Amino acid sequence: MSVKGVVDLHAHIASHIPFGFMLFGGDPECPACTKLTYRHGQQQVMNLELLKKSGVKIYVQATLVNSLGFTKSIAKKQVLQQLEYVENLAKRHAADFGVAHNPAEARDLIAQGKIAFIHAFEGAEFLIDTLEDARSWRDRGVAMIAPIHLGDNQYGDSAVMRGKLVVVNLIGQLKRTFWPSSRKGLSALGKVAIQNMFKAGIIVDTAHMSDLSFNQTLQEAKTAQLPIIMSHGYVREIRDEERGLTNEQIKGLYGLGGMIAVTGAVEMLHPHGPLKSPLPADHCRGTIDDYLLHIRHLEKLMGKNGVPIALGTDFNGFVPHSRPKYGPKGYLPESALKEAPLAFDVQGLAGPHLLPSMFEYLKRQSIGVDAFEQSAERFLQIWEKVLAYERS
């Protein structure tokens, strides 16, 4: 059965577990966490009541690897705790949710009208050193792994970002500035880890990779003729920094049957560097306008509704999302609206319950929403193809 609907390739259901002591409040069952703003205030955004209103078919649950774990046993304990939490959460709310450990289970859950949670890792320090490691996570139902997260690790170089965000990979920035020859992309272990993920039937997520790391991963994928994913990224022609994908990288990824999600983290989306055309006079920074620049670029490059585009909300309670464009918390008065106001117009992306309103807004802006509706099926096809490679 083909699935029509949206996948969110990057959301954090269990973010309060590895980092809760310093960043997050509440959990997905917390009643108080239904009253949110676009800034979120370190409250868990993935509230189950709000998820039921989101219209999303699949949430890829990004299990976080706390880089402060230092050892393999600690890292493994952290991720197992999160995987078990999500499994038990879905069991407690089995009328509406389920965990899919393979594509067939995902299709079955969606056919029943349920939301499918799918396991993934963001960062994989110590966890995919061997083929046996990768296969063990595949057997636990982990569909996708981003081997590199915020900083350089044993698998390779992480992207360096601009402004205050440079602190997340300060070591990478210092190496790039004072010792550029040390930035080599994937390490020898990283290349083996990518190959082992393919052999184990796990999708490679290229989010947070440096240019060299991404290009080398793309080459490994071309050799294997397997699709890869960018779970929460953006377009470099709009925001000129290393985490953004160039036009050639975008074409290369889609050419293998992969898929891109533009991040929902609004701080990553505002233009930086020279643009080929000036911003519209009514462009409002930090709103959906920044997101639209990247979506329109993908439409222009790949064709409107020509390729699936996924969500990559990065809902976790810490990262702010699109602020409202209109109303008391926006840039413009509500009277400036030419049509009846949507909830998204005056609240921004305060939580997953506002995604249907956001898509209605995109339709009003003549964005090809069908590209998003194709994303859940494309994700399942990617997962099926990678698993078939493992079996072969």
Mention every residue, 6+ apart, whose C-beta is less than 8 A from residue 35: none
| C-alpha span between 348 and 287 (Å, rounded) | 7
Give residue 128's pLDDT.
95
C-alpha–C-alpha distance, residues 108 and 216, integer Å: 36
pLDDT at 163: 65
- Cβ atoms of 289 and 325 closer than 8 Å: yes
| All structural domains of the chain | 6-391 (3.20.20.140)
Q: Tell me the H-state helices in 120-186.
A: 131-139, 170-178
**pLDDT for residue 22:** 47
* 312-346 burial: b if 16+ Cβ within 10 Å, else e: bbbbbbbbbbbbbbbbeebbeeeeeeeeeebbbbb
The answer to whether residues 218 and 253 touch, using CB atoms and an 8 Å cutoff, is: yes
Count of CB atoms situated within 10 Å of the CB of 379: 31
Q: How many CA atoms lie within 13 A of 185 on its CB side?
A: 13
Tell me, yes or no, if the pTM score tops 0.75: yes
The C-alpha angle with vertex 341 and arms to 293 and 298, in degrees rounded to 5, equals 15
Strands 229-235 and 259-263: parallel
| Spans of the chain below 70 pLDDT | 19-25, 32-35, 39-42, 66-70, 162-173, 176-182
For residue 323, give the nearest of 364, 373, 375, 358 by alpha carbon. 358
| Cα distance between the two ends of the chain | 23
> What pLDDT is stored for residue 274 in this prediction?
82
